[in-house]
């Protein structure tokens, strides 16, 4: 298992898609506060405004959509170029192969999820000063929860990447899925009580609440749901990967 994880992490470090996405997100996070600074002046905004209003709100879409591109190239493309067949023929247990790949992909998704908010926090501090920084415990809480939810979404993306085994189909489906699924689930929750319960305890609903001040009970729920989601979709994906024919 250790060698499999090292191999997947090595491929992740060398993945050009990951580095391209990181560069684009860093450029976006620097460009936006620079634009505000030169257009409206140094007193037009505070670091706290940027962190809560721009970094965390903008990251809602980044966490759910940008890793979909990485999933297509890091997981699904290995079917078409023969890498997955070679890994499957190596004699390693398929469950271990799947979880090694899921672990590496989750780390890639976590890195993507942290780039935009942390870079925009640093850039806005340099430009607008450190007099109105968000509280450190609030930054740690929101970034910690962002890591958990990025990993949870990554487990869902990994499952569909294994099912489609084609980078184009995977990216297209995942983008549409993550753009529409939570809205559809929300509309259905208004009609059916059992769907409402599912929606209220889903990562799609709770991810939007990580910016709020949380009571102990709410914090425990928002902490456990992404962990359980990662495990459930991880085992579901490994089960499908065991049964899937690798050509």
Is it the case that residue 12 has pLDDT exceeding 80? yes
Q: What is the pLDDT of residue 116?
A: 92
**Which pLDDT band, with edges at 50, 70 and 90, does 208 fall under?**
confident
Task: Please give the full DSSP string across 25-43, using - where no structure is assigned.
Answer: HHHHHHHHHHHHHHHH-TT
Over residues 17-42, mean pLDDT: 88
Q: In Å, what is the CA distance from 125 to each residue of 38, 48, 51, 118?
A: 15, 9, 10, 11
Lowest mean pLDDT: which of 34-38, 69-73, 84-88, 187-191? Answer: 84-88
pLDDT for 66-111, tens place per residue?
999 999 888 888 777 777 777 766 777 888 888 999 999 999 999 9
For residue 4, pLDDT over 90 is answered with: no
What residues have CB less than 8 Å from 107, skipping those under 6 apart? Answer: 9, 12
User: In Å, what is the CA distance from 205 to each residue of 53, 58, 154, 160?
Assistant: 19, 16, 16, 20
Task: Classify the C-alpha dihedral 186-188-193-198 as positive or negative.
Answer: negative
Q: How large is the average pLDDT for residues 152-162?
A: 93
Please tell me the pTM assigned to this model: 0.90
111-135 pLDDT tens trace:
999 999 999 999 988 888 777 888 8
Cα torsion 153, 146, 192, 233: sign: positive
**Considering only CA atoms, which of 109, 146, 110, 118 is closest in space to residue 226?**
146
- Give residue 41's Cα distance to chain centre: 33
Look at residue 247 in the predicted model and tell me its pLDDT: 67
Which of 85-99, 151-165, 229-243 comes out lowest in average pLDDT? Answer: 85-99
Q: What is the reported pLDDT for 55?
A: 84
**pLDDT-based confidence at 54, cuts 50/70/90?**
confident
SS3 letters across 180-218: HHHHHHHHHHCCCHHHHHHHHCCHHHHHHHCCCCCCHHH
């Amino acid at each position: 298992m250790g060698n499999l994880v090292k191999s997947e992490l090595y491929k992740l470090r060398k993945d050009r898609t990951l580095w391209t996405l990181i560069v684009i997100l860093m450029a976006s996070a620097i460009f936006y506060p620079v634009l505000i600074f030169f257009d409206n002046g140094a007193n037009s905004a505070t670091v706290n405004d940027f962190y809560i209003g721009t970094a965390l709100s903008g990251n809602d879409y980044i966490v759910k959509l940008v890793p979909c591109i990485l999933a297509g190239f890091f997981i699904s493309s290995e079917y078409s170029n023969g890498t997955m067949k070679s890994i499957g023929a190596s004699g390693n247990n398929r469950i271990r192969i799947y979880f090694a790949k899921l672990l590496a992909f989750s780390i890639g998704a976590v890195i993507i999820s942290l780039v935009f908010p942390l870079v925009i926090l640093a850039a806005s501090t340099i430009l607008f000063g450190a007099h109105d920084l968000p509280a450190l415990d609030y930054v740690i809480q929101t970034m910690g929860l962002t890591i958990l939810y990025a990993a949870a979404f990554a487990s869902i993306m990994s499952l569909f990447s294994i099912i489609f085994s084609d980078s184009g189909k995977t990216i297209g489906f995942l983008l549409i899925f993550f753009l529409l699924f939570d809205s559809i689930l929300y509309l259905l929750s208004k009609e059916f009580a059992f769907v409402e319960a599912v929606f209220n305890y889903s990562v799609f609903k709770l991810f939007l609440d990580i910016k709020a001040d949380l009571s102990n009970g709410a914090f425990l729920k928002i902490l456990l749901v992404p962990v359980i989601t990662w495990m459930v979709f991880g085992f579901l994906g490994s089960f499908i990967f065991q049964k899937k024919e690798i050509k």
